[in-house]
Chain A
């Protein structure tokens, strides 16, 4: 069964801290996406990738790095976390652009 797995599910860090959010898909999908979800803003695209080693910039990339190490794994890095990055983060994957992406269960991040 197609699945997207995010870890951790919850994370608390302090301002200036270093955080890595992980996403793994076992669907052999080419595309993977990172979104943040905030009330009043909806789902906003941070970074995305169409294969190992590829990275595309989304709409709200400031303060975030991403890396696609393999077809399966896509990481979101916050190297100097700030309270404005407190949010619910979703990873999604799909094969091509006429498919609906499949979402992971989300990671709730709090930056104190």
Chain B
């Protein structure tokens, strides 16, 4: 079945350094990929989405490029900020059995230190 694999567990970075959170996926269907961000005690919120191969998408300083050849959709930011500390999810949307489902990875907890 479909699956999403993210950078495992906890990533701790110093403010100002670049961020890269990995996401790879497996699916037999047409592909929409999403990155969600969840701050403490809040609901997940959309950060980025893409379905176009090799096209960079950007929002709020983050960017990601969907590469269908390698089944990847890594999240990047050039310079981390303290406010980027949050839980990040990569998610895959597809049509399985005629209904549109959304499968999430296990999440990556990002902590930015001063």
Contacts of B114 in A (CB 8 A): none
Q: Are B49 and A41 in contact (CB under 8 A)?
A: no
Cβ–Cβ contact A48 & B32, under 8 A: no
Q: Which residues of chain B have C-beta atoms less than 8 A from A12's C-beta?
A: none
Assign chain B's interface to a size class. 20 to 34
Complex contact A48–B104 (CB within 8 A): no
A100→B34 contact, CB < 8 A: yes
Q: Given the known A-B contacts A98-B93, A103-B45, are A42 and B107 also in contact in the complex, defined by CB atoms under 8 Å? A: yes
B55: CB under 8 A from chain A? no
Interface of B is mostly: strand
- Whether B95 sits at the interface, judged by CB under 8 Å, is yes
How many residues on the A side are at the interface (Cβ–Cβ under 8 A)?
A: 27
List A contacts of B103 (CB < 8 A).
45, 59
Nearest opposing residue in chain A for B97, CB measure: A56
Given A40-B106, A42-B105, CB of A100 within 8 Å of CB of B51 = no
Is B82 part of the contact surface with A, judged by Cβ < 8 Å?
Answer: no
A interface vs B, CB < 8 Å?
A: 31, 33, 35, 40-45, 48, 50, 54, 56, 58-59, 90, 92, 94, 96-98, 100-101, 103-106
Kindly list the 7 A-B residue pairs having the minimum CB-CB distance in the complex, ordered from nearest: A97-B100, A42-B106, A43-B104, A100-B46, A103-B43, A42-B107, A56-B99
